[in-house]
Amino acid sequence: MSQFDLTPPTAEQRDALVAGLSADERRVLLQHGTEAPFCGVFLDNKREGVYCCRLCGLPLFRSSTKFDSGTGWPSFFAPYDEAHIARVRDTSHGMVRVEVVCARCDSHLGHVFPDGPPPTYERHCLNSVSLSFASSGDALADPLGRGETVAA
């Protein structure tokens, strides 16, 4: 069970969070878009910490599970907590994939593929614009004001 409140934001909270997004963040997070490969701000990030949902701040992946997949997008082999992500069948673009969305706010994060490294053999391929980052030791952002003050 997650130590974080997974209750979705209220309509008012969601509107306030969406108002702070750039056009590109809206396109990816809300309209299930993707960013171009090899251009995301977190692709080459080597700092220790936690990657969180850009919209609601829920921790999604630890830097210790990040690996260089060579695909052009930040890739992780395991989520921060399996309860923090939801997997959705995606049949867009003439293929069948598994979309990964934030379990709290339903924002599009990327896709998961069965070709990652051990121990999970999964590759969570994410859009940098779907993420925020908290360096190790820093408090995680709490955009919903829920008192979630855990350090990264």
Q: State pLDDT tens for residues 35-52.
A: 999 999 999 999 999 999
Q: Is 52 annotated as a binding residue?
A: no
Quote the CA–CA distance of 146 and 124 in Å, as a whole number: 27
Q: Using pLDDT thresholds of 50, 70 and 90, give the confidence band for residue 149.
A: low
CATH ID of 25-135, from 3.40.50.11540, 2.170.150.20, 1.10.3720.10, 1.10.540.10: 2.170.150.20
Asked if residue 56 belongs to a known ligand binding site, the reply is: yes
Q: How far apart are CA 147 and CA 144, in angstroms?
A: 8
For residue 82, what are its two tokens? Answer: 């399996």
Give the closest residue to 74 by CA, choosing from 100, 106, 94: 100
Domain borders along the chain are 25-135
Mean per-residue pLDDT for 100-124?
A: 96
pLDDT-based confidence at residue 1 (cuts at 50, 70, 90): low
Q: Dihedrals φ, ψ of 108, to 5°?
A: -70, 130
Is residue 53 part of an annotated ligand binding site? yes
| Residues with a known catalytic role | 125
Separation between Cα atoms, residue 26 and residue 120, nearest integer Å: 30
**Global pTM?**
0.93
Q: Is the pLDDT of residue 148 over 90?
A: no
